[in-house]
Structure 1
Amino acid sequence: MKIISSKAHGILDYLTVIFLVAAPTLFKMEGTLCTFTYALAGIHLLLTVLTNFEPGIIKIIPFKIHGLIELIVAVVLIAVAFWFNSNGSELGFYFYLGLAIVILIVFILTDFKGTQTSAK
């Protein structure tokens, strides 16, 4: 059952960006973990701003492509989690594994066939 609309998905995306920006401070991240988290926040913000859905601003990327990108990112984040684990960062492992799971759940529950806005 697809219970997340495109508008709700966009709101969740912006909240995710806020969470990613706050996470290094909240979880006392350092070094590569901190840098990677800030970079991911910037990339996710850019994707959201450029997506053709209600919360998007520039509306270039089709919402279905946005979803595909998020699915790929979730899979990559699982690999990133294991990379952090192999480099001795338990925090990085659990943070990115958890984030990947949340992104996958949102992907599964989002109606990517929902309304798209026309580019202005």
Structure 2
Amino acid sequence: MSRPISPRLHGIIDYGLLMMWAGIPRLLKLSPRVRNVFTAMDAAQAALNAVTDQHYAVRRIVPFPVHGRIEKYSLPLYVVLPLAAGAWGDRRSRAYFLGAGAALLLNFSLTDWDASSAGA
């Protein structure tokens, strides 16, 4: 089955989500602890995007398929850290956590990880 998100589009979506996620926790007035966890996760994803071999990279170091494997295997951190910070206990934090997770999962699941790098 062909996946509709190319490496280039994946990068655009990643950066768009990162910009939204940088501001939404503050707009929702999430607790500082929860906000700090989401900010750290946002920064880690931004750093990965910046060095992935894709069209919008700052420096192309990480091959695009490796970017996908890093996203795949970091999933437990994206689940456990917010929960440990108390994201499930507050309605707004829980909604943000579920929405951000769904967006990440959709972007990952619909990306063609075998496509040639968009950076070339």
TM-score class normalised by the smaller sequence = 0.7 to 0.9
| Partner amino acid, structure 2, of 1:105 | L
The alpha carbon displacement at 1:8 in A equals 0.5
Contiguous gaps of at least 5 residues in structure 2: none
- Higher alpha-carbon deviation: 49-58 or 66-75: 66-75
The question of whether the paired residues in 1 share the 8 Å contact of 2:37 and 2:81 is answered with no
Identify unmatched segments of 5+ residues in structure 1: none
> Contact 2:34–2:82 (CA<8 Å) still a contact in 1?
no
Q: Does 1:21 align with 2:22?
A: yes
Distance 1:75 1:69, change over 3 A: same
Distance 1:85 1:38, change over 3 A: closer
Higher relative CO (Cα under 8 Å, sequence separation at least 6) belongs to 2
TM-score (norm 1): 0.83
Identity fraction in percent: 24
Question: What root-mean-square deviation, in Å, do the aligned CA atoms of Structure 1 and Structure 2 show?
Answer: 1.9
Partner of 2:10: 9
Q: Does 1:94 align with 2:103?
A: no
Cα distance in 2 between the residues matched to 1:38 and 1:81: 11
Q: CA deviation at 1:73?
A: 3.2
Q: How does 1:41-52 map to 2 (within 5 A)?
A: 41-52=42-53
**Counterpart in the other structure of 1:73:** 74
Structure-2-length-normalised TM-score: 0.83
- Structure 1 window deviating more from structure 2 (93-102 vs 24-33): it is 93-102
> Which deviates the most, 88-97 or 38-47?
88-97
Shift in CA distance, 81/41, structure 1 to aligned 2, threshold 3 Å:
closer
